[in-house]
Amino acid sequence: MGRINQDPNQFVSPLDGRTLLHTASDAIAHGLRTGQPMTLDLAPFTPSLQQPGACFVTLKIHGQLRGCIGSLQAHQPLIMDVAKNAFSAAFCDPRFPPVSIGEQALLQVHLSVLSAALPLKFESEADLLNQIRPGVDGLILCEGSHRGTFLPSVWEQLPDKQQFWERLKQKAGLGPTHWSETLTVSRYTTQSIH
């Protein structure tokens, strides 16, 4: 199990990481069999997996995105968040049709366990860009009803700070040059498990 961009407060042990991956795969298999999300009994899981946690589940086939759904804030036990988001990534991502039985064996499951998001304080767009840590920070942008996030893994495709920031604004439904005093940005890190 990798520990990439790990926040020390969000440590998931290798054993718990394997459990999370198995649970994600089980949730997808259950969805293929029943068309419904899987319900979990928390009792068999370690205390750390029963703690509130937030994660994104990314599905790929042959390196190509096949679904990605996640939570930005911890609102349920981490093990339940993984099961729910795995089902949603496979069957509810509006960008893709539901995963088929024929695709099941080809799926690559990647989990990103999120640290708590911390708001950034900045005086200008240049100040904000100076604070962003490429390859480390995931960002959450909020502007009125517009909201968007990029996981730290997006830096692999967008390594330039300016391009990363402009594409995040576009994802949130804003123009790439948009700037206002009411715009807020928070950052988080992730522990990658795959």
pLDDT the model gives residue 9: 46
pLDDT in tens, 11-37: 799 999 999 999 999 999 999 999 999
Give the residue extent of every domain in the chain.
Answer: 8-114, 118-193
Q: What are phi and psi of 189, to 5 degrees?
A: -120, 170
Dihedral Cα 113, 117, 118, 121, nearest 10 deg:
120
Q: Give the CA count within 13 Å in the CB-facing half-sphere of 114.
A: 30
Residue 2 has pLDDT above 70, yes or no: no
pLDDT in tens, 105-133: 999 999 999 999 999 999 999 999 999 99
Q: Answer whether 0.75 is exceeded by the pTM.
A: yes
Neighbours of 81 (CB within 10 A): 25
- Please report the DSSP string for 131-190 in residue order: H--TTT-EEEEEETTEEEEE-GGGGGT--SHHHHHHHHHHHTTS-TT---TT-EEEEE-E
Architecture of domain 8-114: 2-Layer Sandwich (3.30)
pLDDT band at 45 (very low <50, low <70, confident <90, very high): very high
Q: Which amino acid is at 4?
A: I
pLDDT the model gives residue 5: 38
* Rounded distance between C-alpha atoms, residue 60 and residue 89, angstroms: 10
Neighbours of 89 (CB within 10 A): 27
Topology, domain 118-193: Dna Ligase; domain 1 (3.30.1490)
Q: How does the average pLDDT of the chain come out, rounded?
A: 92
